[in-house]
Amino acid sequence: MSRRVGSEVHLGLAPSRVTRWAILIVVAAVFAIPLLSLLVFSFSAGLGGGYTLDHWTGLFDPENARPYRTLFQAIGNSFLLAVVTVAIVLVLLLPTMLLVHMSFPRLRRVLEFICIIPITVPAIVLVVGLAPVYSIVVQVLGGSIWTLAFAYGILVLPYAYRAIQANLDGVPVVTLSEAARSLGASWPVVLWRVLLPNLRRGVLAAAFITVAVVLGEFTIASLLNRRNLQTALLQISTSDGYVAAILSLLSLAFAFVLLLIIGRLGSVGNRSTP
Amino acid sequence: MSTPLAIAPATVELDAVVKQFGAHRALDGISLQLEPGEFVALLGPSGCGKTTALRALAGLEAVDGGSIRIDGNDVSGLPTNKRDIGMVFQAYSLFPHLTVLENVEFGLRMRKVAAAERRVRAQEALDLVGLGERGERFAHQLSGGQQQRVALARALVTRPRVLLLDEPLSALDAKVRVQLREQIRRIQTELGITTLFVTHDQEEALAVADRVAVMREGRIEQIGTPEELYVTPATPFVADFVGLSNRVPGTLTAGTITAAGTTFALLGAPQPDGPVLAYVRPEDVVLATTETATGLAATVVASSFLGSLRRTSVRLDDGTLLSVQHEVALQPAPGDVVRIAFRGTPVSATPVG
Amino acid sequence: MTTLALPTRKPARTRRGWALLGLTPFAVYVLLFLAIPTVLAVGTGFFTEDGAVTLANLAGVVEPAVLATFGSSFWVSAVTAVIGAVIGGLVCYAMLGTRASGALRTIVDSATSVLAQFGGVMLAFAFIASIGGQGLVTVWLIDTLGVNIYENGVWLYQVPGLLPVYVYFQVPLMIITFLPALEGLKPQWAEANATLGGTRFTYWMRIAGPVLAPSFIASLLLLFANAFSSYATAAALISQGSQIVPLQIRSALISETVLGRENMAGALALGMIVVMVAVMWGYSVLAARTSRWQR
């Protein structure tokens, strides 16, 4: 005589569906509260109660451009900084990683260590020593905002390094370049046509993470007296909290979309047929 | 002096077991019986359900129909940890944070055996697999073959009624595989424990098992001794899967196949007359290089030296490619013309078209 | 018959020389913007304004007031690390068994990546909007449940206010760091445990628990370091004062009232680095042990 055992065998591996969704829903709900509050606040019409779209429409109304000008300038600064920092990652970090990977494998530990240091030496500590360095930078390169990207490049080293290295580890770089060289390719061709197309995933991931970090950076900009998105947000929150709330939500959504794309990029590569 | 790992061997019975994964029927009413102390191999291509059958017996998969009995007791309702089985997995099953000795002791600890006795029995089990001095090592310090031997000791130390092996050698190097399978067989014979061994390697199955069950799409195609499977395959699938086979086109008339100028008796269930492909073993084809030989003319395509024998592929006049196994002394070269004859042993056949 | 004219290869040593040259731009960059600032940061603590060597700044660090600041930092970091680790661990457990490339996993990955970076100013706003003086939740609690969380003063803009805010980015960081460890649990271990007679309890007690312990503690240490070195959030919430070490550095850097305070920042930075190095060293030791077992 036989008996049904049930559709699942419980070995302690995974939680039951009920447990899983209970935990996830509770945590998600609690974490949504601050964000929802921000959203609701951006629609509120002040102490009198009620809701309005004025804060949102006001932000994009050209008439209000003047009082918001410094704010938009700060946003522009942040995007400029993001672009320049990504450029630093692509022009300095990526070639160095490739060079170490192919020609100096023993230096890999050193490079890895260097790229981990910014976690141990946080921005608040680094900025103490950056002030004198930047006084010289200002003398040499002028006081524009983009020079801040040099410091930002250091801040994103751990994230960019990890993103690119994860990709590098999966691609047989040495074998591919040797194969290309044996077929007659010169080094620039190898780099452009063989290696970089295979490293697209890691490079894009590094770029997007860099943008997310730069847009959210406050410490160094604030203590070196520069204006970026975050310092401007803090400043305007004292006079117009609604704009501050709206911009926070927008930049959060922007970063979320960026990282969602990175996530999809990762899974696109994984869907290879055997 | 030492307490032997004496076990009372059990009978195992799967009776019309059904397992469904969504739309896919992994086990299609499979029935299998193991006598006490018997070593049975489940052999088949990937996806045939052999691992599912083993895991169902272990209780790691729930079944949707049929019954599973160990020593006559229905265990379908019993969870894995109460079935008193020993299992060796394909890889990664040793607990990484415990030493080898602690790994082997684990099952005894679960059975609340006292520490001193645990240590003695675990050490005995390790000695049995030849790793007595490695007790203090960790899994990552051992080679693949050594890890599997530890896994075997761990499975046996609790004196289970049944031993289950899920492709234990598939992840190992070829040479280690041969050594280890012989060791497993020796230990199994010494202990007399009922054993079910899953593999996709037909040479392995034939080499170690008392009986072999060839599975395909959730059913057993044939079960028998290795010799039976090799010499009298019940179906073309078995003929093809077990050992090498040539497929020779011919015609079947009233139970006799005429192919390549020879007649063969038909093995297996009767089939309607018509064009067929006959499965002829390479060692049942005779190659002759002298001019006075009789038989079909053929041209040598290639010849491989395999140490104790040679395998030569030849092309007949009608284009059929044959693989012939013969003694090393004959050394045909590509392009030579040789003579082919058949030993006429009964063969399996599949209809063509 | 034509023969290929092979280009003559430069001797190996010159090729290596050129390749080494390729490393210099990055080396110079790291030197200028990481090495030198770090050295300056920890070094200035040993000098006075005029450049004379002194231990006065270091003495200033071990003054009771400043030590209390370190104490607050430790307290906030430890509490938020533990809470973050527990909640994050629970979420990781809930994620066990989901497909690595499935929709749920992708969303959780993106959400945790963003929220782990969602620090500072924006997070402070979000919390002010929800549990600030006029926050959504604060008002709702008063109106619906009659509970006023600020009966004894508005604590959101003091050190206790940092706790819930820090936990908000600690939990995602925990998930990012710990989920790989939890997914490294091989199903064969649970199955072997079952075949050897173990129960779910013995699995978690004797196998999964000990195997996960190093990763869990490593993640805990990382969370501690993360909270300890956070500045932006505290700066946004606490506009004046130096209740925790990063804020103390802020006062030292921008204060104009007390002379010689900039070098004080250096001494404080030195103190922070000592703590960070100790914590990160512990983290790397545990991470190494974990990777050995994952092989």
Residue type, C116: A
- Asked whether residue A180 is assigned to any structural domain, the reply reads yes
Are B24 and B4 spatial neighbours (Cβ–Cβ below 8 Å)?
no
- Report the C-alpha gap between A37 and C129 in whole angstroms: 5
Q: How far is A238 from chain C (nearest CA, A)?
A: 11
- SS3 label, residue A44: strand
Are B212 and B206 spatial neighbours (Cβ–Cβ below 8 Å)?
yes
Residue with tokens 């990175």: A262
Do A26 and A104 lie in a common domain? no
Question: pLDDT class for C4, splitting at 50, 70, 90?
Answer: low
Mean pLDDT on A208-222: 90
Contact flag A128-C129 (C-beta cutoff 8 Å): no
Residue type, A93: L
For residue range B199-215, list pLDDT tens digits in order. 999 999 999 999 999 99
Lowest mean pLDDT among A35-39, B253-257, C110-114: C110-114
Are C192 and C138 spatial neighbours (Cβ–Cβ below 8 Å)?
no
Q: Is the confidence at residue B151, as pLDDT, over 70?
A: yes
Do A232 and A159 lie in a common domain? yes
CA B85 → CA B7, B163, B173, C192, distances in Å?
12, 6, 27, 11
Mean pLDDT on B99-126: 94
Residue B234: phi and psi, rounded to 5, are: -80, -30
Give how many domains chain C has, as a whole number: 1
Which residues are B211's β-sheet partners? B40
Q: What is the mean pLDDT of chain C?
A: 85
Give me the residue from C189, C193, C195 closest to B86, CB to CB.
C195
Residue B331: phi and psi, rounded to 5, are: -125, 75
Question: What is the per-residue pLDDT for A189?
Answer: 86
- Asked whether residue C59 is assigned to any structural domain, the reply reads no
Q: Which percentage of chain A shows pLDDT scores above 70?
A: 88
Do A46 and A87 lie in a common domain? no
**ipTM of the complex as predicted:** 0.84
Residue to mutate among A128, A133, A239, with most C CBs inside 10 A, is: A128
- Asked whether residue A257 is assigned to any structural domain, the reply reads yes
- Asked whether residue A3 is assigned to any structural domain, the reply reads no
Q: How far is A88 from chain C (nearest CA, A)?
A: 10
Do A93 and A26 lie in a common domain? no
- Asked whether residue C259 is assigned to any structural domain, the reply reads no
Question: What is the per-residue pLDDT for B1?
Answer: 33
Do A26 and A154 lie in a common domain? no
- Asked whether residue C88 is assigned to any structural domain, the reply reads yes
Mean pLDDT on C174-201: 90
Do A47 and A73 lie in a common domain? no
Q: Which two tokens stand for residue C228?
A: 């300890």
Residue with tokens 């790691």: B60
- Report the C-alpha gap between B93 and C193 in whole angstroms: 9
**Radius of gyration, alpha carbons of chain B:** 24
Residue to mutate among A3, A5, A11, with most B CBs inside 10 A, is: A5
Q: How far is B95 from chain C (nearest CA, A)?
A: 7
Q: Which chains touch C (3 or more CB pairs under 8 A)?
A: A, B
Of the candidates A200, A193, A118, A181, the residue with the CA atom closest to the CA atom of residue A151:
A118
Q: Is the confidence at residue A264, as pLDDT, over 80?
A: no
Please give the span between the terminal C-alpha atoms of chain C, in angstroms, as a whole number.
55
Q: How many CB atoms lie within 10 A of CB B97?
A: 18
Q: How far is B339 from chain A (nearest CA, A)?
A: 43
- Asked whether residue A11 is assigned to any structural domain, the reply reads no
For residue range C80-125, list pLDDT tens digits in order. 999 999 999 999 999 987 777 778 888 888 788 888 877 788 899 9
Q: Is the confidence at residue A270, as pLDDT, over 60?
A: no
Q: Which chains touch B (3 or more CB pairs under 8 A)?
A: A, C
Question: pLDDT class for B2, splitting at 50, 70, 90?
Answer: very low
Contact flag B154-C197 (C-beta cutoff 8 Å): no
Count of CA atoms in the C-beta half-sphere (13 A) of C61: 21
Containing structural domain, residue A41: 17-52
Contact flag B64-A4 (C-beta cutoff 8 Å): yes
- Asked whether residue C239 is assigned to any structural domain, the reply reads yes
For residue range A116-160, list pLDDT tens digits in order. 899 889 999 999 899 889 989 888 888 788 899 999 999 999 989
- Asked whether residue A149 is assigned to any structural domain, the reply reads yes
Contact flag B74-A1 (C-beta cutoff 8 Å): yes
Do A42 and A89 lie in a common domain? no
Do A36 and A79 lie in a common domain? no
Question: What is the per-residue pLDDT for A261?
Answer: 79
Q: Is the confidence at residue C284, as pLDDT, over 80?
A: yes
Asked if C191 has any chain B CB less than 8 Å from its own CB, the reply is: yes
Asked if C22 has any chain A CB less than 8 Å from its own CB, the reply is: yes
Q: What is the mean pLDDT of chain B?
A: 90
Do A84 and A176 lie in a common domain? yes
Q: How far is B174 from chain C (nearest CA, A)?
A: 22
Do A39 and A163 lie in a common domain? no
Asked if C244 has any chain A CB less than 8 Å from its own CB, the reply is: no
- Asked whether residue C263 is assigned to any structural domain, the reply reads no
| Chain A / chain B CB contacts < 8 angstroms | 31
- Report the C-alpha gap between B21 and B31 in whole angstroms: 19
CA B175 → CA B171, B172, B178, B179, distances in Å?
12, 8, 5, 7
Chain C CB contacts of A130 under 8 Å are 33, 37
| Chain B / chain C CB contacts < 8 angstroms | 70
Domains for chain B: give ranges and CATH numbers.
12-231 (3.40.50.300), 244-351 (2.40.50.140)
Do A149 and A214 lie in a common domain? yes
Q: How far is B97 from chain C (nearest CA, A)?
A: 6
Lowest mean pLDDT among B93-97, C15-19, C227-231: C15-19
Asked if C13 has any chain B CB less than 8 Å from its own CB, the reply is: no
Q: For strand B85-88 and strand B337-342, is the pairing parallel, antiparallel, or unpaired? A: unpaired
Give how many domains chain A has, as a whole number: 2
Containing structural domain, residue C160: 84-243+269-294
Are B309 and B326 spatial neighbours (Cβ–Cβ below 8 Å)?
yes
- Asked whether residue C66 is assigned to any structural domain, the reply reads no
Do A71 and A32 lie in a common domain? no
Question: What is the per-residue pLDDT for B41?
Answer: 97
Contact flag B61-A11 (C-beta cutoff 8 Å): no
Of the candidates C99, C175, C118, C102, the residue with the CA atom closest to the CA atom of residue A256:
C118
- Report the C-alpha gap between B254 and B257 in whole angstroms: 8
Contact flag A14-C96 (C-beta cutoff 8 Å): yes
Question: What is the per-residue pLDDT for C15?
Answer: 67
Q: How far is C47 from chain A (nearest CA, A)?
A: 13
Question: pLDDT class for C222, splitting at 50, 70, 90?
Answer: very high
- For residue A260, what is the domain's CATH number? 1.10.3720.10
Are A160 and A210 spatial neighbours (Cβ–Cβ below 8 Å)?
yes
Q: Is the confidence at residue B137, as pLDDT, over 90?
A: yes
- Between C263 and B349, the higher pLDDT residue: B349
For residue range B317-347, list pLDDT tens digits in order. 888 899 999 999 888 999 988 998 888 788 8
Question: pLDDT class for C132, splitting at 50, 70, 90?
Answer: confident
Q: Which percentage of chain C shows pLDDT scores above 90?
A: 36
Question: What is the per-residue pLDDT for B77?
Answer: 86
Question: What is the per-residue pLDDT for B164?
Answer: 96
- Asked whether residue C49 is assigned to any structural domain, the reply reads no
- Contact map slice: C 73-92 vs A, CB within 8 A: 87, 90-91
- Asked whether residue A139 is assigned to any structural domain, the reply reads yes
Chain C CB contacts of B103 under 8 Å are none
- For residue C200, what is the domain's CATH number? 1.10.3720.10
Residue to mutate among A106, A125, A182, A247, with most C CBs inside 10 A, is: A125
Give me the residue from B74, B79, B80 closest to A2, CB to CB.
B74
Handedness of CA B68, B72, B75, B80 (dihedral sign): negative
Q: How many CB atoms lie within 10 A of CB C124?
A: 29
- SS3 label, residue C292: helix
- Asked whether residue C7 is assigned to any structural domain, the reply reads no
CA A131 to chain centre: 24
- Report the C-alpha gap between A185 and A173 in whole angstroms: 15
Lowest mean pLDDT among A50-59, B94-103, C142-151, C216-225: A50-59
Mean pLDDT on B159-169: 94
